[in-house]
């Protein structure tokens, strides 16, 4: 039964992402919104729903270590694995504007998170905290960022030349239905994969580092790969950057507002790892604003090394 559920989960993921990308792209044309904005908002926030659900529920239950680990693992997976695999299907091209605005916001969010906790570690403590007020600050930064995106979409609307389309109810149904299929499929894949792994007596730590970490990023992975195959590079890269921004500013912001988050030394090291990975990907992107197959393979190999490091640790 677990094998059957695993297959059903993957089918739902692939078909759901197919409908979700098509619906989002069509909706962008109807309202003359740049597909990048759609990728950074609707698609990114939608595919980050699993991380939000896991972290917020963990915070409500007092398991705030899971909140940090979930976001950190997901962001590294998004940057290295999701973008890397997407680039194998089609080169991921972007613009100077995306790098200097949206990607730098992603890096800035990680730096702000680091600043919030670094002082307690520097002064010799082994535990740091993200307070409720700091959680609210993160959430407020997200509101400012989304407001800036909306303002940009309005200014770009008049310049945007796209084929004329009328609003079709099926586009909205594709978006909602596709997102539901992605979320249900992702849960089926993660749950069944964990059950299969346990049957083979694989340790829970290894399951958490591999299956669960990749599992919560499956919506981003499948959506970005499908978008890349359909030559919707803006949705592919917008999904990843937007998801990473959303994970830190919304997921951690709301989680910390609900219950102050405790950050141990290992979590602190992993947050540093996110910043290192973001800097590395920035260097790869800024040269010619493109991630080709060679860069994609390099990113996948770096992610494998990161996983191996965690296994050894």
Q: What is the pLDDT of residues 46-57, one digit of tens each?
A: 777 766 766 676
Compute CA distances 307 → 55, 206, 289, whole Å.
21, 9, 27
Q: What is the DSSP string of the chain?
A: -HHHHHHHHHHHHHHHHHHHHHHHHHHHHHTT--HHHHIIIIIHHHHTHHHHHHHHHHHHTT-HHHHHHHHHHHHHHIIIIIHHHHHHHS-EE--HHIIIIIIHHHHHHHHHHHHHHHHHHHTT-SEEEE-HHHHHHHHHHHHHHHHHHHHHHHHHHTT---------HHHHHHHHHHHHHHHHHHHHHHHHHHHHHHHTT--HHHHIIIIIHHHTTHHHHHHHHHHHHTT-HHHHHHHHHHHHHHIIIIIIHHHHHHSPEEEEHHHHHHHHHHHHHHHHHHHHHHTTSEE-HHHHHHHHHHHHHHHHHHHH-
Six-digit token pair at 114?
Answer: 């680091």
Architecture, CATH, for domain 2-312: Up-down Bundle (1.20)
CB 239 within 8 A of CB 48: no
Measured at the CA of 229, the angle between CA 225 and CA 231, to 5 degrees, comes to 115
Global pTM reads 0.80
Residue 127 pLDDT greater than 70, yes or no? yes
Average per-residue pLDDT for the chain: 81
Q: How many CB atoms lie within 10 A of CB 67?
A: 29
Residue 185 confidence (pLDDT): 78
CA distance 233 to 223: 11
CA distance 199 to 142: 42
Residue 140 confidence (pLDDT): 94
Q: Is 94 left (phi over 0), alpha (psi -120 to 50) or beta?
A: beta
Residue 44 pLDDT greater than 90, yes or no? no
Residue 158 confidence (pLDDT): 61
How do residues 225-250 score in pLDDT, each as one tens digit?
A: 888 888 887 888 888 998 899 889 99
Residue 25's pLDDT band (cuts 50, 70, 90): confident
For the ranges 8-17, 73-82, 151-160, 187-196, the maximum mean pLDDT occurs at 73-82
Residue 162 pLDDT greater than 60, yes or no? no
Residue 144's pLDDT band (cuts 50, 70, 90): very high
Residue 230 confidence (pLDDT): 83
Residue 289 pLDDT greater than 80, yes or no? yes
Residue 287 confidence (pLDDT): 80
Residue 71 confidence (pLDDT): 82
Burial class (CB in 10 A: 0-12, 13-18, 19+), 256: buried
The pLDDT of 112-129, averaged and rounded, is 81
Residue 209 confidence (pLDDT): 58
Residue 277 confidence (pLDDT): 94
Instruction: Answer with the residue of higher pLDDT: 41 or 135.
Output: 135
Residue 85's pLDDT band (cuts 50, 70, 90): very high
CA distance 251 to 257: 10
CA distance 141 to 108: 10
* Among 225, 210, 198, residue whose Cα is nearest residue 10: 225
Residue 278 pLDDT greater than 90, yes or no? yes
Percentage of the chain modeled with pLDDT above 90: 20
Residue 296 confidence (pLDDT): 94
Q: Which residues pair with 128 in a beta bridge?
A: 263
Residue 222's pLDDT band (cuts 50, 70, 90): confident
Residue 95's pLDDT band (cuts 50, 70, 90): confident
Radius of gyration of the chain (CA): 19
Percentage of the chain modeled with pLDDT above 70: 85
Compute CA distances 192 → 17, 118, 199, 217, 220, whole Å.
20, 38, 11, 16, 19
For the ranges 103-107, 193-197, 223-227, 282-286, the maximum mean pLDDT occurs at 103-107
Domain boundaries, the chain: 2-312
């Amino acid at each position: 039964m677990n094998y059957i559920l695993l297959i059903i989960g993957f089918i739902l993921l692939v078909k759901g992402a197919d409908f979700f990308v098509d619906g989002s792209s069509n909706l962008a044309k109807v309202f003359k919104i740049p597909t990048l904005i759609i990728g950074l908002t609707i698609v990114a926030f939608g595919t980050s729903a699993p991380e939000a659900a896991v972290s917020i529920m963990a915070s409500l239950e007092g398991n705030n270590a899971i909140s940090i680990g979930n976001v950190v693992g997901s962001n590294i997976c998004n940057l290295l694995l999701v973008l890397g695999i997407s680039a194998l299907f089609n080169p991921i091209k972007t613009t100077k504007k995306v790098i200097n605005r949206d990607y730098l916001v992603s890096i800035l969010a990680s730096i702000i998170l680091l600043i919030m906790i670094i002082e307690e570690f520097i002064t010799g403590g082994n535990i740091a905290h993200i307070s409720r007020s700091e959680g609210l600050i993160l959430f407020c930064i997200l509101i400012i960022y989304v407001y800036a995106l909306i303002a940009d979409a309005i200014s770009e609307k008049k310049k945007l030349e796209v084929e004329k389309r009328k609003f079709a109810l099926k586009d909205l149904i594709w978006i909602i239905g596709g997102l539901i299929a992605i979320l249900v499929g992702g849960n089926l894949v993660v749950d069944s994969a964990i059950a299969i792994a346990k049957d083979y007596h694989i340790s829970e730590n290894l399951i958490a580092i591999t299956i669960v970490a990749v599992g919560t990023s499956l919506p981003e992975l499948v959506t970005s790969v499908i978008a890349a195959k359909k030559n919707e590079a803006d949705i592919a890269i917008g999904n990843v950057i937007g998801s990473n921004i959303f994970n830190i500013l919304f997921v951690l912001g709301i989680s910390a507002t609900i219950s102050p988050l405790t950050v141990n030394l290992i979590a602190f090291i992993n947050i540093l790892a996110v910043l290192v990975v973001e800097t590395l990907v920035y260097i790869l992107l800024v040269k010619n604003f493109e991630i080709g197959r060679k860069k994609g393979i390099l990113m996948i190999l770096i992610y494998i090394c990161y996983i191996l490091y965690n296994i050894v640790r």
